Amino acid sequence: MFVYSVRASTIKLFAVIILTFSLLCGVLVYSETKGTFAVSVNEAYNFSDIKTNDDRIEFLAQFGIEVTGEASEESFTMPEDFDRVLLGYNEIQKAQGFDLSKYAKKKVTRYTYELPSYRDYDGTVYVTILVYRDKVIGGDVSSADPDGFVKGIIEDSDE
């Protein structure tokens, strides 16, 4: 004869296991949809599957930034501790919904394009995007002049 009793602690254990499994499934579903970043109710930009030069050009076109040709490419490891300059740059990225501190100690690739013309600006202007594992994690439009400007790509599309 086999006798098995169920205590309240056994039921609680199964409830915790089921709850944990449900939370894990929810996190997995959420992480799959993180590739799209909504800037406003009417606009959604795709930041994932950026693998080729054509993908990068198409990505920038979402923001009204037209580039041609190949980008200069540089891979680097994001530092663990941000200096004053990188902290300021990260504030620009945070205003766009990015946060570079999440990628500390990760190998990131920077793609830089020269803009052939930029509004009424006379100097040289570059657009840069930062990519980690085929996902854009940051970007900016900046002038090459010492007294120039640096602003986010999303901020630039709003003007």
Report, as an integer, the average pLDDT of 63-72.
92
Least confident of 4-13, 82-91, 122-131: 4-13
For the question of whether the overall pTM of this predicted structure is more than 0.75, the answer is no
Q: How far apart are CA 31 and CA 133, in angstroms?
A: 14
CB crowding 104-117: b at 16 or more within 10 Å, else e: eeeebbbbebebee
Domain assignments of the chain as residue spans, ordered by start: 49-157
Q: What are phi and psi of 22, to 5 degrees?
A: -65, -45
Report, as an integer, the average pLDDT of 78-107.
96
The three-state secondary structure class of 30 is helix
Q: Are 127 and 140 in contact (CB under 8 A)?
A: yes
Instruction: Give the confidence band of 154 by pLDDT, cuts at 50, 70, 90.
Output: confident
